[in-house]
Structure 1
Amino acid sequence: MAIVNFGSINIDKVYRVSHFPAAGETLLVDGYSVGLGGKGANQSIAMARAGADVRHIGAIGTDGLWTKQRLSDEGIDTDGIAVLENEATGHAVIEVDPSAENKILVLSGANAALTQDQIDTAVGAMGADDWLLFQNETNLTEAIAAAGKAKGVRIAYSAAPFIADKVVPLLDMVDMICVNHLEAATLAEGYGGDMDAIPVSRLLVTYGARGAEYRDDGHVEFVPSFKVDAVDTTGAGDTFLGSFLAAISKDAPGQHALLQASAAAALQVSRHGAADAIPTADDVHKFLFSRA
């Protein structure tokens, strides 16, 4: 079973700041780093490090050739990543303050240049037991969901960045949607405030430091977050989802998948960086053993 991820690929430029600057303020930064990021790339790496068979479909510019190599080095199939001559690789400018909170500016770049041919080729090669994953950081999200539904594969939708008017029309095409608790509440407002009425069979909801829950056809599982000293929350949600979907794709019970994902996210926020901070399956195993 493979997970085919139609996902963004970004170059992350991270600035460590004493505080978030106000309008018109010039602020000297305390540190700077460049790394691989983007919700799609982060999730692919999280899934691969959790032991899943991952195929990444996306696009980069010639300035981002190293990002494709990084994904390949993780054991991810990168044959579906297009290299475009006239587009810049997507990038994010990230400010991180001493409390590990962040503010992020994103340029879509090549992430907004996926083609229907890429979708048709990738989905056409999928098997019935495969999962398709996509987010809102690329173009053609409706076409991706429609192709997956027509193929009959299982579809997970990481509905971020969250725009309700964009998310709602896709609900009847996906099997699982992944949102935070505020986004889940926003969706539920259209269904009488009942999260169980949101028209998807599986709903993954994160509550930040409180924990996360998984609703599967009315059955609800909840796991609290592990308490750790957070230094950088960038990519925590992507790590959580990637680890969770890797487990679910192997038919793990919801409670087990939540526990694995919670541990992975706890480890990730205790390290600096996004993709570089994502733990391996062995890291997660050792962490859970130490907390038993």
Structure 2
Amino acid sequence: MAVFNLGSVNADLFYRLPHMPAPGETLAALSHDRGLGGKGANMSVAVARAGARAVHIGAVGPDGVWMRERLERYGVDVAHLALHEGPSGHAVIYLDPEGENSIVIFPGTNRQIAETDMTAALDAAQSGDIAVFQNETNLQRAFAETARAKGLTVAYAAAPFEAAAVQEVLDLLDLLVMNRIEAEQLQAATGLAPEKLPVRQVVITLGAEGCRWIDTVSGESRDFPAPKVQVVDTTGAGDTFTGYLMAGLDRGEDMATAITLAQRAAALKVTRAGTADAIPTRDEVLAAG
């Protein structure tokens, strides 16, 4: 089994600030770091570190070869991470003393993925594998259609949120993952509460309050409290959760079991600075209790 991830790969540029800048304000950063990131790369690393096979589908530029090598070192299959001309994606991330963030993304080659590369990657997929995607690349609808035709479970993390992008793929989804604000925005755009969406499984992350799982077919809804931890950096916590969730489902775990470990992984991640480089392994999550 495997998780096929159409996802972004970004160089994350971190600036730790005394506070978030006000309009027109100039601030001196307290520190600066560069790491591997992008919602797609974070999820692929989380899948791999959770012990499942992650196949990453995407593109980087010549300046992103180091990111491809790092993904491979973390156990991600990068055979379908293409090298294109032009700059790779990157993100500028501001962090305040409480670990909250503000992010600006430059898409770069993440929006230049060739459809032939995507379909070639999915040629190796088998019925029962998982296909996951986000909103930082092109080809979302084509990817979901191709994965659905091959009998894959189609999962979507609706971030960065765009109501139109979500509505374009809703009819193809088996699992939709959103945070609370995204769920509210989607309801405002569609007029449908989460339990009324045409998607069987809906997971809404609630930050420090945990998450809510909704089975829209049975009508079952269950809340899962989040572990209490000392927050250092929230960047990538949602991606860690989603990647671990995909890995658990890929291993055949039920939703409750997969969510529980995914929440523990995300909680451990926020105690560490960084994004993909800071995602914990399954052994670390289990040892943390």
The bucket for the TM-score relative to the shorter chain is over 0.9
Task: Find the residue that maps to 2:14 and give its secondary structure.
Answer: strand
Matched residues in 1 for 2:120 and 2:46: separation? 24
- Is 2:201 the partner of 1:202? yes
Partner of 2:228: 227
Normalising by structure 2, report the TM-score: 0.96
Contact 1:3/1:131 (8 A) holds in 2:
yes
Matched residues in 1 for 2:103 and 2:211: separation? 23
Task: Find the residue that maps to 1:232 and give its secondary structure.
Answer: coil
Partner of 1:123: 122
Task: Find the residue that maps to 1:64 and give its secondary structure.
Answer: helix
Match for 1:132: what amino acid? A
Contact 1:213/1:258 (8 A) holds in 2:
no
Contact 2:163/2:189 (8 A) holds in 1:
no
Partner of 2:2: 2
In structure 2, do the counterparts of structure 1 residues 27 and 190 end up closer, same or farther at CA, with 3 Å as the change threshold?
closer
Contact 2:128/2:151 (8 A) holds in 1:
no
Partner of 1:186: 185
Match for 1:141: what amino acid? Q
Partner of 2:264: 263
Matched residues in 2 for 1:58 and 1:69: separation? 14
Matched residues in 1 for 2:197 and 2:64: separation? 38
Residue 187 of structure 1, CA deviation: 2.5
Residue 191 of structure 1, CA deviation: 6.0
Partner of 1:82: 82
Aligned residues: 287
- Is 2:26 the partner of 1:26? yes
* Aligned residue runs from structure 1 range 233-244, under 5 A: 233-244=234-245
Residue 214 of structure 1, CA deviation: 1.7
Q: Which moved more, 1:132-141 or 1:186-195?
A: 186-195
Partner of 1:134: 133
Q: Which runs of 5+ in 2 are unaligned?
A: none
Q: Give the superposed CA RMSD.
A: 1.2
Matched residues in 2 for 1:70 and 1:221: separation? 37
Task: Find the residue that maps to 1:75 and give its secondary structure.
Answer: coil
- Is 2:145 the partner of 1:146? yes
- Is 2:69 the partner of 1:69? yes
Q: Report sequence identity in percent.
A: 44
Q: Deviations over 1:193-213 (max 9, x none)?
A: 532110001111101110112
Matched residues in 2 for 1:193 and 1:5: separation? 27
Match for 1:123: what amino acid? L
Matched residues in 1 for 2:162 and 2:199: separation? 17
Q: Deviations over 1:4-63 (max 9, x none)?
A: 001100000000000111222221110000000000000000110001111001100010
Matched residues in 2 for 1:154 and 1:174: separation? 8
Partner of 1:35: 35
Residue 182 of structure 1, CA deviation: 2.1
